[in-house]
Amino acid sequence: MKRKSVAIIGSGMAGLAAAIRLAAAQYEVTLFEANAYPGGKLCAFKQGDYRFDAGPSLFTLPQLVLDLLKLAKIPATDFPYVTLEQGCHYFYEDGTRLIAWANPTKFAEEIQQKLGVEPNIIHAYLDQAKYKYEHTAPLFVASSLHKASTYLSKKTIKGVMAIPKLNLFNTMHKQNEAVLQEPHLVQFFDRYATYNGSNPYDAPALLTMIPHLELGMGTYFPKNGMIQITESLVAAAQKLGVNFRYNEKVIQILHHNNRVTGLKTAQNTYAFDRVISNMDINPSYRKLLPDVAAPENLLAQEKSSSAIIFYWGIEKTFKELDLHNIFFSANYKEEFEHIFKTKQFYADPTIYLNISSKYKPDDAPAGHENWFVMINVPPNTGQDWDQWIAKAREAVIQKLSRILGTDIAPLIANESVLDPRLIESKTSSFGGSLYGNASNNRYAAFLRHANFSSKIKGLYFCGGSVHPGGGIPLCLNSGKIVAEMME
């Protein structure tokens, strides 16, 4: 019997996950990638003597990767990673510094010592985050919200029974403020809204489950850098017979009589039984399906934040810094107002600083560090990004220099910049949005596009702009959901 053929558009995390699962299920899989490299946002590059992971830098739930490698009979030992004892270092404008220890007891002691908050408050908060995660993740993360069968399952009943404890009608910030009270700690836990590009002052309190991923289940670092995730998944896909077609941009999804028939690239036209778009849902409709009525209400939903990222080779090492570091703004509410409401540049941005050379020394010359420096900004709607980049660079250097007590500017050996325009052009993310739609209302989980087309049989969608959302774990789950619903 002839194997069913599947085309996947885009080799991001969701596309790779779907490819591996479908190839393991004996589908004939071809993956089309417009770029010369795989991985979407999860790629890497060299800059002089420095190596950088270009995109996502936080690694949680390694089992999701190991499950995919297992399908290709690749041993777990081929994907080495370390467990982090320190999740992140936090720096506040008033001089307060915190370390998010992986050990809950040690973390609670840190908070008590630095902020005077009793450990029982921290443990209770983390227990509640765990409860919310365990009662909702099977429904909102691992299943399709657009299939009736999902709502007839035991996991749905479990989630419904938990509703009184899920704080569905409060915002993330109000919930944190009511439970934690201490301002530094509230800001600390409000930050987790940025894990899916949202605003803690609008996002639902249900998102207070996100800290459980990091503080309850652990953070990790692949020994060869984040690019190791992409490379390992590509190796698994290739071992299972997935055909990769790089530098071949898809320009149209073909269909006839409400049934997908294949796709068209700049080079050729191909027939396929099934097509999966790992492309952002907006260009999927606007560019690849111009003859299909688009779901305008879904496409018009508020988009997540984007970013300006500076990649700096730094001619010095800093003992007070670790792999993950956060330098908070003095007025968090005002910062999010700028990002999501006025969509203007904010002069005192919160800075995320990632230094992979802390755990992979050959990413920088001896005595040097490779700095991935990111601030959140609105998605691209035509702003003067060259002016914003100049302002951001000045603000970031001043802030880091002041807090670290060292003039950073003369230490920058080389530099490159990523902004929303480039994010959009390189990854087709609409407006350079990092996570598709924002989760700034209580119905956000239900306002993402389904993983399948209700109009064209055999057409599916995966990735950060559709269910269940953006970030490595969610995208890997998105690929799994698509593969499992494939008819």
| Residue 281: CATH number of its domain | 3.50.50.60
pLDDT at site 137: 78
Is the domain of 320 the same as that of 410?
yes
Using alpha carbons, select from 424, 482, 434, 445 the residue that is nearest to residue 196. 434
pLDDT at site 462: 96
Residue with tokens 């306002």: 447
pLDDT at site 151: 41
Helix (H) or strand (E) holding 250: strand 250-256
Counting Cβ atoms within 10 Å, is residue 391 exposed (0-12), middle (13-18) or buried (19+)? Answer: middle
Which two structure tokens, joined as six digits, stand for 314? 């730094």
Whether 428 is in a domain gets the answer: no
> Is residue 12 a contact partner of residue 54, using CB atoms and an 8 Å limit?
no
Which tens digits make up the pLDDT trace of 391-439?
999 999 999 999 999 999 999 999 999 999 999 999 999 999 999 888 8
pLDDT at site 161: 46
| Spatial distance between the Cα atoms of 43 and 311, rounded to a whole number of angstroms | 14
| Spatial distance between the Cα atoms of 276 and 479, rounded to a whole number of angstroms | 10
How far lies 416's CA from each of 228, 370, 410, 413, in Å? Answer: 22, 12, 16, 11
pLDDT in tens, the chain (487 residues): 688 999 999 999 999 999 999 999 999 999 999 999 999 999 999 999 999 999 999 999 999 999 999 999 999 999 999 999 999 999 999 999 999 999 999 999 999 999 999 999 999 999 999 999 988 877 666 555 555 454 444 544 454 444 445 566 689 999 999 999 999 999 999 999 999 999 999 999 989 999 999 999 999 999 999 999 999 999 999 999 999 999 999 999 999 999 999 999 999 999 999 999 999 999 999 999 999 999 998 898 999 999 999 999 999 999 999 999 999 999 999 999 999 999 999 999 999 999 999 999 999 999 999 999 999 999 999 999 999 999 999 999 999 999 999 999 999 999 999 999 999 999 999 999 999 888 888 766 567 889 999 999 999 999 999 989 889 999 999 999 999 998 6
Using alpha carbons, select from 19, 8, 39, 2 the residue that is nearest to residue 459. 8
Is the domain of 406 the same as that of 460?
no
Is the domain of 254 the same as that of 159?
no
Around Cβ 121, how many Cβ atoms within 10 Å? 17
| Spatial distance between the Cα atoms of 74 and 112, rounded to a whole number of angstroms | 44
Is the domain of 318 the same as that of 286?
no
Which two structure tokens, joined as six digits, stand for 322? 């670790």
pLDDT at site 439: 85
Q: Which residues pair with 305 in a beta bridge?
A: none
What are φ and ψ of residue 18, in 5° steps? Answer: -65, -40
DSSP β-ladder status, 250-256 and 243-245? unpaired
Whether 54 is in a domain gets the answer: no
Helix (H) or strand (E) holding 37: none
Whether 426 is in a domain gets the answer: no
Is the domain of 157 the same as that of 234?
no
- Cis peptide bond upstream of 468, omega within 30: yes
Which tens digits make up the pLDDT trace of 353-403?
999 999 999 999 999 999 999 999 999 999 999 999 999 999 999 999 999
> Is residue 385 a contact partner of residue 420, using CB atoms and an 8 Å limit?
yes
Is the domain of 319 the same as that of 400?
yes
Whether 356 is in a domain gets the answer: yes
Is the domain of 334 the same as that of 407?
yes
Domain containing 208 equals 121-218
pLDDT at site 159: 47
Total count of domains within the chain: 3
Counting Cβ atoms within 10 Å, is residue 419 exposed (0-12), middle (13-18) or buried (19+)? Answer: buried
Q: Which amino acid is at 241?
A: G
| Spatial distance between the Cα atoms of 460 and 482, rounded to a whole number of angstroms | 7
> Is residue 159 a contact partner of residue 135, using CB atoms and an 8 Å limit?
yes
Query: HSE of 361 in the Cβ direction (CA atoms, 13 Å)?
Result: 2
pTM: 0.94
Whether 333 is in a domain gets the answer: yes
Is the domain of 228 the same as that of 125?
no
Domain finish residue from 192, 218, 244: 218
Using alpha carbons, select from 214, 211, 213, 230 the residue that is nearest to residue 222. 230
Domain finish residue from 196, 218, 240: 218
Whether 178 is in a domain gets the answer: yes
Which two structure tokens, joined as six digits, stand for 381? 């709607």
Is the domain of 214 the same as that of 228?
no
| Spatial distance between the Cα atoms of 315 and 409, rounded to a whole number of angstroms | 10
CA angle 342, 177, 186 (to 5 degrees): 75
> Is residue 319 a contact partner of residue 82, using CB atoms and an 8 Å limit?
no
DSSP β-ladder status, 259-265 and 269-271? antiparallel
Around Cβ 151, how many Cβ atoms within 10 Å? 14
Is the domain of 250 the same as that of 326?
no
> Is residue 374 a contact partner of residue 434, using CB atoms and an 8 Å limit?
no
Question: What letters, b where the CB count within 10 A reaches 16 and e where it falls short, cover 62-72?
Answer: bebbbebbebb
Whether 99 is in a domain gets the answer: no
DSSP state letter for 32: E
Beta strands in 128-249 (DSSP E): 220-222, 243-245
Residue with tokens 């990092």: 434
Is the domain of 213 the same as that of 240?
no
Whether 424 is in a domain gets the answer: no
Domain finish residue from 169, 187, 218: 218
What are φ and ψ of residue 459, in 5° steps? Answer: -110, 130
Counting Cβ atoms within 10 Å, is residue 261 exposed (0-12), middle (13-18) or buried (19+)? Answer: middle
Concatenate the DSSP letters of all residues of 370-439 into one string: EEEEEEEEPPPSS--HHHHHHHHHHHHHHHHHHHHTS--GGGEEEEEEE-HHHHHHHH--GGG-SSSB--
Is the domain of 158 the same as that of 202?
yes
